[in-house]
Amino acid sequence: MSPRTTSHRSTRSIRSRLTPPSAVRRPSLYLAAAAAGAVLIGTVTTGEPAAQAEPAAAVSIADQLGISAADPTASVEDQIAPLEQLAASRSQREAEQVQAAKVQRAADKAAAEKEAARKAAEEAARKEAAEKAAAEEAAREEAERQAAAEEEAAREAEAAEAAAEPAPAAAPAATPSGSFQDYALSQLGGDGSQFSCLESLWGKESGWNPNAQNPTSTAYGIPQFLDSTWAGTGIAKTSDGYRQIDAGLIYINSRYGSPCAAWSHSQANNWY
């Protein structure tokens, strides 16, 4: 055997005796990692390097982490148990934080859904109230229109009934004399103001001509009555100007109450 080979084997044997087995080194590696972590945590927390911190009582890394110093005679499992417990405790806290976050998100979501439901209910109630108010307003307007239509129908029925009733027959008049205007004034009891209105009315209609004939209708005579109007006066259509005046005054008194009222209507509507 060569001296080189013998020397190499002797060196490897010595290293084997000096280097503990990996199973024995493992707790030491864990403690070293924990120590490095503790130093890092201290540095981050205080914002100063460990070397610049104020002197304090000597505390071991294991004590800072709440881990008893490793017992050289203990098994590997017993030596790493505190570190496993520390890791499990951290995992449990992280799980609890995750669960708490989930619970908070669920609560926030439930609160948001509840608020959305409340707003939707308020909007539905507001819409329903608006629709109800609109329906009530429409019903009120319809009732008013109906009432107005019924009132108008009643007035028309009264007017038709009054037109259908035969006018009282005029008393036989004495043989008139004088102008048609003088006769009309006498029939008005000498009321000059009413006669003035009548003179203007029939002056506009016929010029007081008893033979005046409207070329586009049956209007005839001083009062320019249609054939249907003559029937309502109780006096037959005639060319006698005096009888026309009698029929005209009957119609005016029945429909308007006075010649001035008839004249006002004629001025506003161009008929009476």
Mean pLDDT of all residues in 172-189: 82
45 part of a folded domain: yes
pLDDT tens digits, one per residue of 194-232? 999 999 999 999 999 999 999 999 999 999 999 999 988
| Domain containing residue 53 | 3-70
Helix, strand or coil, per DSSP, at residue 225: strand
pLDDT tens digits, one per residue of 240-263? 999 999 999 999 999 999 999 999
Angle at the Cα of 138 from the Cα atoms of 134 and 140, rounded to 5 degrees:
115
Give the C-alpha separation, 232 to 266, whole Å.
19
168 part of a folded domain: no
CB of 225 within 8 A of CB of 219? yes
**Position with higher pLDDT, 249 vs 61:** 249
40 part of a folded domain: yes
pTM reported for the whole predicted model: 0.38
Furthest C-alpha separation in the chain:
186
Environment class of 138 (CB within 10 Å of its CB; exposed 0-12, middle 13-18, buried 19+): exposed
**Domain end point (choices 49, 70, 91):** 70
pLDDT at 15: 45
Angle at which helices 22-46 and 76-164 cross, to 10°:
50
**Domain end point (choices 30, 50, 70):** 70
For the chain, give the number of residues.
272
